Amino acid sequence: MRIGFIGLGIMGKPMVRNLLKAGHEIVAYDVIRENMDAVAIAGATTANSPKEVAGQCRLIITMLPNSPHVKAVVMGDSGILQGAMAGTILIDMSSIAPLTSQEIAKACKEKGVKMLDAPVSGGEPKAIDGTLSIMAGGEKTVFDQVLEILMLMGTSVVHCGDVGAGNTAKLANQVIVALNIAAVSEAFLLAAKAGVDPKVLFGAIKGGLAGSTVMNAKVPMILERNFVPGFKIDLHIKDIENALETGHKVGAPLPLTAAVMEMLQILHADGCGEEDHSAISKYYEKLVGDLRIK
């Protein structure tokens, strides 16, 4: 199948490579030329605009930073809707505000384009090995049509409801991840201050009720002070902003989410925005001076 793919960043490039490995033809576009060159080496064809991608493909995937980027790519000048044929399916795998997904889906419907919002969780490592968790919203019949394609990029693919439900599920996921990293950082600082080796603590508790996928992935990074981004703090700030905005609009109080947002904003101000979100641990280190959790 010929698939359009727009957005070739940390996540998009490995997702494209997995689709190519499965034998699909990819027409790719990104605003950064080097990103297009990277997927071209893997076998993708490149285009000059989202409109050009849409003119060649009946299935298009977008993987972009935030709501304004998706709106521009889909609804803007030289956007997907300028070139898409009726019956085209758009899968937006970006993590954006659910209400924006619904707005974009309405514009798509007016052009005869069907849309799913299908954000992912798992970061770059799982994008590379094709084991992402994918949360999809939209018509079930459309979801069923593209499920086989989605399974080439993820091992958990769940239909969550109507358009916007996928991004609502992703926001819930991101709240849990951020709070989990903060809780881990706080607990491991307690251990370090009390004289317990954090490596010993990790071995002692990871198999119990406190253990989690987040702990297993992020504690080794914290202990090694390896903050090479699999998922950047600045991107987590974006997701938490969307969660807080959505919470305000639907009447859901998110006091813990608001607290972790302040931690993330402090880290951004300290120049850590491009680091992995495991660097939330640095917020706690900042509170106590020179102590390092290691």
First vs last Cα of the chain: how many Å apart? 49
Write down the catalytic residue from 13, 114, 126, 170.
Answer: 170
d(CA 237, CA 175): 10
Contact 149, 59 (CB under 8 A): yes
DSSP 223-260: HHT----SSBHHHHHHHHHHHHHHHHHHT---HHHHHH
Identify whether 170 is a catalytic site residue: yes
Contact 50, 84 (CB under 8 A): no
Positions annotated as catalytic residues are 170
